Structure 1
Amino acid sequence: MALLRFALIGFVIVFLLPAALSLLVWKLGEHPASWREANWSSAAVLPAAADDDEAAVYIMAARTGGLKGALSEHSWIVVKPQGAARYERFDKVGWGSPIRRNGYPADGRWYSNVPRVVARLTGEAAERAIPRIRAAIDAYPFAANGGYRIFPGPNSNSFVAHVLRSVPELGAVLPPAAVGRDYPVDGRLVSLDAEARELRASLFGYAGFAIGARSGLELQFLGLVAGIDPLRGLLKVPGFGSLSITG
């Protein structure tokens, strides 16, 4: 009983309290009442595509809309082949086309929330990666209509996480608040990525863990992620995402 009580207290402190605080902070902020009222325009986060001939790849993320924005982000993929004058953006969303191409500006706000760059490649590395990214997008097993579920997945973040795992040279994992990123789209509940030096386990996105050079140590429960990444000096807090502990 003492061990069970200790585990319950730990769960409340590590998962529930931060999530509740994140919900409170979000409720106190100002947010659009609906998608119709939201700002979806470019946030000018990325350089103008025509200003640079180099190839580029960006993984983007921004807080989503409604109350779920307190706990979750939406992510997407942006590519620009060498010499291209425009970016291409790819999202998996719960409405419209299965994989939406250029449905929004490459660095557009998501429900009025300004996006940030999660990962980037430029130059020759990006040019080599783009064909593999396109192949991973084409191979996404839940690309068809109906292949979307907000929780536990597969959702927009499951799609981008699939591409990141398929193209390890991107060298990144999605942020902790990207709910759905841990859904096993390939059906494997346990996976070992030797190239990325990552061991991951997921009970269909409901609970799991990850340990490795890119993720650090993570515990996952009902889409919430808690953990620490000592290599990058990050503390992963449910709802809030990654917080720097190096000052």
Structure 2
Amino acid sequence: MRWSVVGAWLGLVLVVQNGHAQQSSGRNWATAARHSSGLAPDPVRHADQAIVQVYAAPTYGWRGNFAVHPWIIYKRQGETAYTRYDVVGWRAPQVVQRNYAVPDGLWYGSAPDLLVDHRGGEVEAMIDRIEAAVASYPYAEHYRSYPGPNSNTFLAHIGREVQALQLDLPPNAIGKDYRPLSNPVGVSPSGSGVQFSLLGLLGVSVGLQEGLELNVLGLNFGLDLNAPALRLPFVGRVGMRDTPLPQATPHTQATGG
């Protein structure tokens, strides 16, 4: 484990250097693409369905090489637009944002991955619990990119409160393991297991969704048995896919509600 951590931090140094070189080449956050990725079902064509989805995309700039930004979208049966929630640090002090961007949009040039896709009658009750979890997020006016609380801390809170989501945030979702020193033990971010964590810097999680995962200085190493795979810093999961494949449905660009 010691050499794994050393190797991971050496990789981090190389990533940072490479990222600074990329930013100096002229990439600009203000002009980065943020259009629809085409992953969300057209809310008009699927007006008769309640839908919940969770996405994660590499964060902007050099940090995107080892960390992701997640968000959640949903719509109730009969609605023709999605509601999106995520935490955006530069919107402090109100970091919890509603409809900050296109529901399934690129995150400043980075295409998102679909982590969760729930549809049907039982989703209505799930949405009630999601809205309650958003309202109860304890760090709505606090943000710290490392080790948290940040956007991954927010989605982990929702995952703990709404266990029916079966949300397995990837190992490079830095901040998902953040817990205050006053409450180091509790439910794991997926809601399917238990966790011990000191400020998201040192800890362990065991759960049906995340398997066994060790956290050392925010770098996660583990083994997922639910869908066999290694859980590694920087790269995420290596092995079988445990997230839903996008369903082949007609799509037009979705708009927030």
TM superposition score normalised by structure 1: 0.86
1:71-96 Cα offsets, whole Å, 9 max, x none, are 10000010111111001101111122
| Equivalence for 2:97 | 100
Contact 2:180/2:198, CA 8 A, preserved across alignment: no
User: What letter matches 2:115 in structure 1?
Assistant: V
Q: Compute the displacement of 1:206 (Å).
A: 1.1
Q: Is the 8 A contact 1:164 1:172 kept in 2?
A: yes
3-state DSSP of counterpart to 1:169: helix
CA distance in 1, matches of 2:39, 2:181: 33
Deviations 1:144-173 (A, max 9, x none): 2xx111011100110111001000000122
1:135 is the counterpart of 2:129: no
Counterpart secondary structure, 1:95 = helix
Structure 1 counterpart of 2:121, which letter? E
Equivalent residue, structure 1, for 2:35: 41
Counterpart mapping for 1:189-204 below 5 A: 189-192=184-187, 196-204=191-199
Query: Which among 9, 14, 29 is matched to residue 16 of structure 1?
Result: 9
Tell me, yes or no, if the aligned pair for 1:198 and 1:211 is still in contact at 8 Å: yes
Aligned partner of residue 146 in structure 2, secondary structure: coil
The equivalences for 1:196-215 within 5 A come to: 196-215=191-210
Give the root-mean-square deviation of aligned CA atoms. 2.5
User: Which amino acid in structure 2 is aligned with residue 83 of structure 1?
Assistant: G
The residue number in structure 1 matching 2:150 is 155
CA deviation digits over 1:56-113, x for unaligned, max 9?
1111100011111111000001011111100110111112243111110000100211
Distance 2:16 2:71 in 1: 24
Pick the aligned partner of 1:121 from 114, 118, 122.
Answer: 118
Q: In structure 1, how many angstroms separate the alpha carbons of the residues matched to 2:41 and 2:21?
A: 33
Residue identity matched to 1:65: Y
- Identical-pair percentage: 35
Distance 1:78 1:38, change over 3 A: same
Q: Which amino acid in 1 is paired with 2:101?
A: Y
Unaligned runs of 5+ residues in structure 2 are: 242-257
Q: Are residue 91 (structure 1) and residue 86 (structure 2) matched?
A: yes
Contact 1:59-1:119 within 8 A present in 2 as well: yes
Alpha-carbon shift at residue 21 of structure 1 (Å): 6.9
Q: Is the 8 A contact 2:159 2:191 kept in 1?
A: no
Q: 1:227 to 1:27 in 2, by over 3 A?
A: farther
Paired AA for residue 46 in structure 1: A
Question: CA 1:127/1:114 → structure 2, altered by over 3 Å: closer, same or farther?
Answer: same
The one of 60, 85, 110 equivalent to 1:65 is 60
TM-score by length of 2: 0.83
- 1:28 to partner: Cα distance: 8.9
> In structure 2, the residue corresponding to 1:9 is in which secondary structure?
helix
Contact 1:32 1:38 survives alignment (8 Å) = no
**Conserved? CA contact 1:18–1:237, under 8 Å:** no
